[in-house]
Every structure is written in structure tokens, then in C-alpha cells.
């Protein structure tokens, strides 16, 4: 199915959101991801992107980071603007917000999109939310993270490497009903699962999405 871009907003350094009109029959949950595909210079490409909107009613959003080490597809998405169409499949993934009484999201880099979506879905569900977000140069999605703090969520933003394990230990209560979520590239996922274990949590029970 194709989805039409209805909005594009910068939300941080080299980071932007794309909002799409929700195609008929498409229903996704915070934490799930979609596959976008397109042809570039005669070659077919497909990449996965996590929903950064708390739901998919009328529209859904993704958050994309264009990194120095990145390849062709994030550049392609960077050039899209309202009115453009792209092939979308999904949603995919079992790692989504499922009504947990407390959601703790550990996010690295563009994983911040999943973090705001899951925390917003938890707040809308009158549940507790905590976010530990590790960024590279400057944080993204600061307006939505600030709004989450105003709504009662605990949000810790850290520059790369700063006190990450201590922040995870502070955020985790390891209580029943707490769901732990991890979203980011492989190096961050390794650091996050080690931090969960060091804090007495259960990394195998965490909902983990590894971006590759």
C-alpha cells in the first residue's frame, strides 16, 4: 500500500519527522514499526522505521535520523515533502506498549521516536512513564519530552556515555506491572541490556527493538 506524506518537521540535528495519512485498514501500536520501500537510481531499497506517534488514527508519524555512517535511504526520506507518496508495509513487531502500569523506555539516537510514542501512549492510559534517552551531539524531540515531563513522566536525557547505568538504575523500579523497552542501534542495545542487568532487572523480559 502507498502512504502520502502530510507533514515534515525538523525535530533535532539531522533528525526529522514524517507524518503520513493513515491508509485504510492500517492500524499500529506505539513501539511497532513499518517497512518503507522505494526505487533509487534503478535500485530497490527497503528500510524499517518505528512509529513515533502514540497511535495511527488518521495519521501516523516516524522519526528519522540521517547519520554520517548512514546509507541511501535516510537521504531519500530527507528529500520527501508533503504530497509525496511512498510504499509502506506493516505494522510489524510484538514489542509495543500493551497497557503496562509503568513504561520505562531506554532510547538511543533515533530510538527517541519510539520513546515519545510509548511514553505518550502510557500517559494517555493514566500509566506511569519514564524515558532514559542517550543522544550523540544534541537531543531531538525536546518539545515532546518537555511536554511529557509536564504530564508527570520522568525524563532523563544524557550525552553519549554520561552516567547511563546510574540513570537506568534510577528509572527502573523492577516492580510488577513495569514494562521495559529498548530502542536503538546495536551498540546502544548492548549498553542498555547490560545496564538493565546491572540494575537488577531482567533483560530477557525487556521489549527490545534493535535498529541494526
Ligand X SMILES: Cc1cc2nc3c(=O)[nH]c(=O)nc-3n(C[C@H](O)[C@H](O)[C@H](O)COP(=O)(O)OP(=O)(O)OC[C@H]3O[C@@H](n4cnc5c(N)ncnc54)[C@H](O)[C@@H]3O)c2cc1C
- Please report how close the Cβ of residue 92 comes to ligand X at its closest, in angstroms: 7
Pairing of strands 2-12, 102-108: unpaired
147 φ, ψ to 5°?
A: -65, -35
Q: How far is the CB of 110 from ligand X (least distance, A)?
A: 3
Residues 156-195 within binding reach of ligand X (CB under 6 A)? 185
Please state, as a whole number, how many other Cβ atoms lie within 10 Å of the Cβ of residue 148.
22
72 binds ligand X (CB under 6 A): yes
Q: What angle do CA 52, 97, 134 make, to 5 degrees?
A: 55
Binders of ligand X among residues 21 to 50 (CB under 6 A) are 33, 47-50
Q: What angle do CA 84, 90, 95 make, to 5 degrees?
A: 125
Q: For residues 36 and 55, give the distance between their C-alpha atoms in angstroms, rounded to a whole number.
A: 18
Under rule CB under 6 A, residue 8 binds ligand X: no
Query: Is residue 19 a contact point for ligand X (CB under 6 A)?
Result: no
Nearer to ligand X among residue 54 and residue 110 (C-beta): 110
Tell me: does residue 90 bind ligand X (CB under 6 A).
no
71 binds ligand X (CB under 6 A): yes
Which whole-number Å values give the CA distances from 75 to 32, 83, 112, in the listed order? 22, 18, 19
Count of residues engaged in binding ligand X, rule: CB under 6 A: 23
Q: Please count the other Cβ atoms lying within 10 Å of the Cβ belonging to residue 175.
A: 9
144 near ligand X, judged by CB under 6 A:
no
Contact pick of 11, 12, 16, 65 for ligand X (by CB under 6 A): 65
Q: Which of 28, 54, 109, 201 binds ligand X (CB under 6 A)?
A: 109
C-alpha cell at 19: 507524518
Which residue's Cβ has the minimum distance to ligand X?
Answer: 71
Would you tell me which residues interact with ligand X (CB under 6 A)?
33, 47-50, 62-65, 67, 69-74, 109-110, 113, 185, 209, 211-212
Amino acid at each position: 500500500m502507498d502512504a502520502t506524506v502530510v507533514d515534515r518537521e525538523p525535530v533535532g540535528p539531522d533528525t526529522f519527522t514524517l507524518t503520513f495519512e493513515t491508509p485504510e485498514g492500517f492500524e499500529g501500536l506505539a513501539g511497532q514499526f513499518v517497512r518503507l520501500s522505494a526505487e533509487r537510481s534503478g535500485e530497490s531499497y527497503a528500510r524499517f522505521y518505528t512509529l513515533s506517534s502514540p497511535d495511527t488514527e488518521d495519521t501516523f508519524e516516524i522519526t528519522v535520523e540521517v547519520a554520517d555512517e548512514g546509507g541511501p535511504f535516510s537521504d531519500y526520506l530527507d528529500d520527501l515533502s508533503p504530497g509525496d507518496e511512498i510504499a509502506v508495509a506493516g505494522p510489524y513487531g510484538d514489542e509495543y506498549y500493551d497497557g503496562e502500569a509503568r513504561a520505562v523506555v531506554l532510547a538511543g539516537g533515533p530510538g527517541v521516536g519510539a520513546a515519545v510514542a510509548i511514553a505518550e501512549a502510557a500517559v494517555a492510559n493514566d500509566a506511569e512513564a519514564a524515558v532514559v534517552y542517550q543522544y550523540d551531539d544534541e537531543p531531538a524531540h525536546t518539545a515532546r519530552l518537555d511536554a511529557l515531563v509536564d504530564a508527570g513522566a520522568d525524563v532523563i536525557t544524557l550525552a553519549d556515555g554520561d552516567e547511563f547505568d546510574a540513570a537506568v538504575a534510577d528509572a527502573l523500579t523492577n516492580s510488577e506491572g513495569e514494562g521495559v523497552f529498548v530502542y536503538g542501534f546495536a551498540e546502544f542495545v548492548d549498553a542498555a541490556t547490560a545496564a538493565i542487568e546491572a540494575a537488577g532487572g531482567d533483560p530477557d523480559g525487556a521489549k527490545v527493538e534493535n535498529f541494526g
